[in-house]
Amino acid sequence: MKLRSVYIALALLLAASGASAQVDTWEFEVYPAQTLNRGMFEFETLNSFSAIGHDGGGEYGTNRMYRTALEFSYGLTDRIEAAAYLNLAHPNGGPFQYAGSKYRLRGSLFEQGQLPVDLGWYVELEWHRVPQFDDNELELELRPIVTRQFGRLEIDLNPIFEKPIFTGPNKNKGFEFGYASGVYYNYWRWMSPGLEFYGGAGLIDDTDPLKRQQHYIFPVVRGELPRGIEYNFGVGIGLTRGSDQLIPKLNVELERFIGSMFD
């Protein structure tokens, strides 16, 4: 029965991978349903480098572009956390530049393990510096989150629904559909292997041609080091012509308890 459940979950993952908004290359991260506990603070730096990218797109293109996002998260309650991001880019061998900001709320539903799958939600408002790094200045992003544990095997599914608002060429169009999903084998606490999948296909009712879509697979290792430091390292491989072909990434986070603001 457990094996059958694994097959069903993997089928859902692959289904998400087949129909997917353009990928947020500042944040190669898959979210589980569980959030930070109340009073917990997390600082994370998310880094990626388009070793083989594209010369076109935006003002700079993506080839040999280094990106970093600084994320600050705080547990408002045991089931809701808030976060703010600062996105920076290092294009064309020049100095770091401000690329945009993001603000989000993420929550979990029910107690962990209460249902066959753990469920969560994610709401984000993202501001881009245009036209250098994106065509749309302001975007709304929504994600339902599904997590399932099968012993040491963990599956996280993040379907992504994204819509430009107020400004940009697609402001009067519908939602785009994307995905961020991961499969991990939690063997060692300090190092465990996994696979992550990211992609975007454009508008739900008018998907881009496959050659313009972005789809990536990342073999990764992740783990927890002493003093509350966690990491996730991987090398992404682009699966379509519209994808950057090679993207190493490294996410490093530090958690600390600082107490509740509302006590």
82 pLDDT higher than 90: yes
Q: What would the two tokens of residue 54 be?
A: 């594209």
Give the pLDDT score at 93.
66
263, part of any domain: no
- pLDDT tens profile 108-141: 999 888 999 999 999 999 999 988 888 788 999 9
Q: What would the two tokens of residue 175 be?
A: 């939602």
129, part of any domain: yes
Name residue 103's beta-bridge partners. Answer: 84, 125
Name residue 216's beta-bridge partners. Answer: 198, 238
pLDDT band at 170 (very low <50, low <70, confident <90, very high): low
- Reduce the DSSP state of residue 121 to 3 states and report it: strand
255 pLDDT higher than 70: yes
pLDDT band at 58 (very low <50, low <70, confident <90, very high): low
pLDDT band at 169 (very low <50, low <70, confident <90, very high): low
62, part of any domain: yes
Residue 132: domain span:
2-257
Give the pLDDT score at 43.
98
DSSP 27-62: ------S--PPTTEEEEEEEEEE-SB--S-STTT-S
Give the pLDDT score at 100.
95
150, part of any domain: yes
97, part of any domain: yes
Give the pLDDT score at 168.
66
Residue type present at position 236: G
What is the rounded CA–CA span in Å between residue 47 and residue 65? 11
> CATH number, domain at 102?
2.40.160.40
Give the pLDDT score at 18.
38
Q: What would the two tokens of residue 238 be?
A: 């682009």
Which one, of 206, 253, 219, 244, lies nearest residue 24 by Cα? 244
Residue 166, burial from CB neighbour count under 10 angstroms (0-12, 13-18, 19+): exposed
35 pLDDT higher than 70: yes
Burial 14-40, CB ≥16 within 10 A → b, else e: eebbeebbbbbbbbbbbbbbebbebbb
pLDDT band at 16 (very low <50, low <70, confident <90, very high): very low
262, part of any domain: no
Give the pLDDT score at 142.
98
- In angstroms, the Cα distances linking 91 to 8, 39, 97, 99, 219 are 42, 37, 8, 10, 25
Residue type present at position 180: A
What is the rounded CA–CA span in Å between residue 74 and residue 164? 26
The count of structural domains within the chain is 1
Residue 245, burial from CB neighbour count under 10 angstroms (0-12, 13-18, 19+): middle
C-alpha count within 13 angstroms, C-beta hemisphere, residue 135: 10
Which one, of 187, 184, 242, lies nearest residue 218 by Cα? 184
171 pLDDT higher than 90: no
What is the rounded CA–CA span in Å between residue 263 and residue 260? 6
49, part of any domain: yes
Give the pLDDT score at 32.
98
Q: What is the mean pLDDT of the chain?
A: 88
